[in-house]
Amino acid sequence: MKTITIKDVAKLSGVSISTVSRVLNAPESVKTEKREKVLKAIKQLNYHPNALARGLIYKRTKSIGVLIPDISNPFVAGVIRGMEDEGRELGVNLILCNTDRNQERMVRYLKVLKEKQVDGIVFTSDPINEEYYQIFNEIDLPIVLAATESREYNIPSVKIEDEKAAYDAALYLIEKGHTEIGMISGPTTDTIAGFPRYMGFKQGLRDKLSLENNNIEFGFFDYDSSYKAMERLYDKNPKITAVFCASDEMALGAISFLNTKGINVPEDISILGFDNTKIAQMSIPKLTTISQPMYEIGKHAILKLEKMISGESLEDVVTYLPHTIVERESVKHL
Amino acid sequence: MKTITIKDVAKLSGVSISTVSRVLNAPESVKTEKREKVLKAIKQLNYHPNALARGLIYKRTKSIGVLIPDISNPFVAGVIRGMEDEGRELGVNLILCNTDRNQERMVRYLKVLKEKQVDGIVFTSDPINEEYYQIFNEIDLPIVLAATESREYNIPSVKIEDEKAAYDAALYLIEKGHTEIGMISGPTTDTIAGFPRYMGFKQGLRDKLSLENNNIEFGFFDYDSSYKAMERLYDKNPKITAVFCASDEMALGAISFLNTKGINVPEDISILGFDNTKIAQMSIPKLTTISQPMYEIGKHAILKLEKMISGESLEDVVTYLPHTIVERESVKHL
DNA sequence: GTGAAAGCGCTAACAA
DNA sequence: TTGTTAGCGCTTTCAC
């Protein structure tokens, strides 16, 4: 299968390759008659310009690399969806890379992305440490963080205010009449979704209930660890009437445990989730949850990255998108 | 930020660019001393070979385009996960394209993928019609279908045997003692996940129960339409003791409806799902479901595509991966 | 308005 | 073992 090039088009239409190039890039600069001939030849030969050759000249590939922990995580998938849609709008494609939080793998990906001349990188969802920062630096590509941030290294980012969201979560539960409130938190070593939500929650209770809350157990944002955390929490304090979970999946784990004990949600215990992924609408009961604008986070991240790539200045390096509380069925007003 | 090239490395290490190229591609053919010098220069300059220039010569980019309906669909995400992992193994990257089943969008994507010189395409999850076939033909790139197939056009594909899976689903329910069985099917116009599952199910009941089943309602594989379908089904025949749903999400929709009626799953009515996505493990009750090997489908698709790209012959154009039944809690043995 | 030719960064003969 | 050079497919001066 011979690859057909601009030369073939030129020959068939009886013009020079420059003219063909012109009808591709500045059609008005070519006399109508010739232009038509060229266009016809392009159709006839089913010619597609070679983006590699173009990229070599333009130094822009309209491709960007996306580093994510795992595409099968619904939250991540939601963010990616927003990125892809915005990418289509802007004519850029996404190269997907699952890191599984494996640093070595990330370094390898970054290397091939650099070689493939991607215009930029968006890094999603994971905390940034000194080492990551070094790696980003070395690769020397525009980068934006989506659903994560890095104040100390001043990398552009898009996310919600997690601490405030958790604070609001606490307030919401209090408003609903709860005073004996528990939390299933992510690990506090997680500086994005763990620690800030933990802190925000505690602060909310301190401010409104003047109480130092110790009804907190920990898991890893997933179903199983949360199931067990709920068990511990219930053992520790069965008088709890509401628990705030640091992710929707955790909320489901908690509900599942309570279900085995014959404890009803929300009649006996209220559950408040976090994320508002699709499962929040499909569980029984449907989850009341802190909604993160996953799709918007993705869109904004791409938008911001494009600005960086094209050298525009950013209005704000760190942008916070608003969270909301989506009320469904898992929290009861006492 | 000047892009540094093979020339810079050559100059710094005092050799010709060919030598640099050699240490990159056939290190043993270069004398140790020079090789070390070159390697040192590469490190020092933080040089990354330009994959565009390479691709221009090799006619191979180690990138492949992935056309999916929607990444936020957990089934699709599972398949993509498998593809990406296999891709990493083989050193190829995935360019993600959400089509939302929009043909125009698909055509545009295919065009830019062609221009970007991807080595091949994997098309996921949607039925193929005459028009699609034409489009694929025109683009003239190796293509494999994942979780879909096209017998008439003989396009290589990887999926399960949907009809047999649905047949097995019917048999399973019968084995569990059910005789009054319903189904919530996808649209029969869907030639992949709709019609075959519908047919397989009916055939199962015919073979084992000698009965022409009419307890079938239709939805679009999603929660809401299935919720309503379950309502219709229950109105039509409240004596049903089991229903087979054409997707896990549908199963959840059905369960949700039953729940509002105070009908317990599986005590009063058993529910059998399809897919075995993550939600099947997180619902109450946990879903007994027909498991599709999403991850494996993805891996195999990439493997097969790579074979086509490298000109190897395929053992089988159409490959069927085995499905299994994962027993959890939503089906009761009568 | 159009064509010839240089050059993007690299690999692969071909010489030496 | 190494260097020189042509050429991958394209855009872009620079003449005409």
At A56 the pLDDT is 97
CA distance A145 to A75: 15
Q: How far is the CA of A119 from the C1' of D15 (A)?
A: 35
pLDDT averaged over chain A?
A: 97
Task: Name the token pair of A232.
Answer: 């511990």
Nearest residue to C5, CA vs C1'?
A18
Per-residue pLDDT band for A256 (boundaries 50, 70, 90) equals very high
At B2 the pLDDT is 82
CA distance A119 to A91: 12
What amino acid is encoded at A3 in this protein? Answer: T
Mean pLDDT of A274-298: 98
**Scanning every residue of chain A, which has its alpha carbon at the shortest distance from the alpha carbon of B89?**
A105
Q: In chain B, which residues have their Cβ closer than 8 Å to the Cβ of A4?
A: none
Cβ-defined contacts of B134-141 (< 8 Å, 24+): B135/B103, B135/B106, B135/B107, B135/B110, B136/B110, B138/A46, B139/B110, B139/B111, B139/B113, B139/B114, B140/A1, B140/A46, B141/B113, B141/B114
Per-residue pLDDT band for A1 (boundaries 50, 70, 90) equals low
**For A185-226, what is each residue's pLDDT tens digit?**
999 999 999 999 999 999 999 999 999 988 999 999 999 999
**For A66-107, what is each residue's pLDDT tens digit?**
999 999 999 999 999 999 999 999 999 999 999 999 999 999
Number of neighbours of residue A329 by Cβ within 10 angstroms? 15
Q: How far is the CA of B152 from the CAs of A197, B121, B161, B170, B226, in angstroms?
A: 54, 19, 16, 28, 31
**Cβ A166 vs Cβ A181: under 8 Å:** no
Contact between chains at A48 and B115 (C-beta distance less than 8 A): yes
Burial (Cβ within 10 Å: 0-12, 13-18, ≥19) of residue B239: exposed
**For B212-229, what is each residue's pLDDT tens digit?**
988 999 999 999 999 999
- Tell me, yes or no, if B5 comes closer than 8 A to chain A by beta carbon: no
- Strand C reaches within 7 A of the B54 CB: yes
CA distance B292 to B169: 13
Q: Secondary structure of chain B in the HEC alphabet? A: CCCCCHHHHHHHHCCCHHHHHHHHHCHHHCCHHHHHHHHHHHHHHCCCCCHHHHHHHHCCCCEEEEEECCCCCHHHHHHHHHHHHHHHHHCCEEEEEECCCCHHHHHHHHHHHHHCCCCEEEEECCCCCHHHHHHHHHHCCCEEEECCCECCCCECEEEECHHHHHHHHHHHHHHCCCCCEEEEECCCCCCCCCHHHHHHHHHHHHHHHCCCCCCEEECCCCHHHHHHHHHHHHHHCCCCCEEEECCHHHHHHHHHHHHHCCCCCCCCCEEEEEECCHHHHCCCCCCEEEECCHHHHHHHHHHHHHHHHCCCCCCCCEEEECCEEECCCCCCCC
Q: How far is the CA of A130 from the C1' of C4 (A)?
A: 53
Percent of chain A with pLDDT strictly greater than 70: 100
Q: Give the closest-approach CA distance of A17 to chain B in angstroms.
A: 18
CA distance A215 to A178: 13
**Cβ B333 vs Cβ B177: under 8 Å:** yes
At A2 the pLDDT is 83
**Scanning every residue of chain A, which has its alpha carbon at the shortest distance from the alpha carbon of B5?**
A115
Query: Using CB atoms and an 8 Å cut-off, which of residues 197-226 of chain A contact chain B?
Result: 223
Residue A213 CB partners (closer than 8 Å, separation 6+): A181, A183, A201, A202, A205, A206
At A172 the pLDDT is 98
Mean pLDDT of A306-318: 95
Burial (Cβ within 10 Å: 0-12, 13-18, ≥19) of residue B213: middle
Query: Is residue B88 pLDDT above 90, yes or no?
Result: yes
- Strand C reaches within 7 A of the A16 CB: yes
CA distance B229 to B240: 14
Residue B15 CB partners (closer than 8 Å, separation 6+): B34, B37, B38
At A240 the pLDDT is 97
At A213 the pLDDT is 84
Percent of chain B with pLDDT strictly greater than 70: 100
DSSP state, residue A245: E
Query: Is residue B271 pLDDT above 90, yes or no?
Result: yes
- Tell me, yes or no, if A325 comes closer than 8 A to chain B by beta carbon: no
CB within 7 A of nucleic chain D: A 3, 5-7, 17-18, 20-22, 24-25, 47-50, 53-54, 56-58; B 15-19, 22, 29-31, 33-35, 53, 56-57
Q: Give the closest-approach CA distance of A16 to chain B in angstroms.
A: 21
Q: In chain A, which residues have their Cβ closer than 8 Å to the Cβ of B74?
A: 72, 74, 77, 278
- Tell me, yes or no, if B259 comes closer than 8 A to chain A by beta carbon: yes
Q: How far is the CA of A117 from the C1' of D2 (A)?
A: 30
**For B10-23, what is each residue's pLDDT tens digit?**
999 999 999 999 99
Instruction: Indicate the SS3 state at residue A212.
Output: coil
Residue B179 CB partners (closer than 8 Å, separation 6+): B209, B241
Mean pLDDT of B241-262: 98
At A298 the pLDDT is 98
Per-residue pLDDT band for A38 (boundaries 50, 70, 90) equals very high
Mean pLDDT of B42-67: 97
Mean pLDDT of A117-134: 96
pLDDT averaged over chain B?
A: 97
Query: Is residue B89 pLDDT above 70, yes or no?
Result: yes
Instruction: Indicate the SS3 state at residue A102.
Output: coil
Query: Is residue B1 pLDDT above 70, yes or no?
Result: no
At B213 the pLDDT is 84
Contact between chains at B71 and A77 (C-beta distance less than 8 A): yes
At A269 the pLDDT is 98
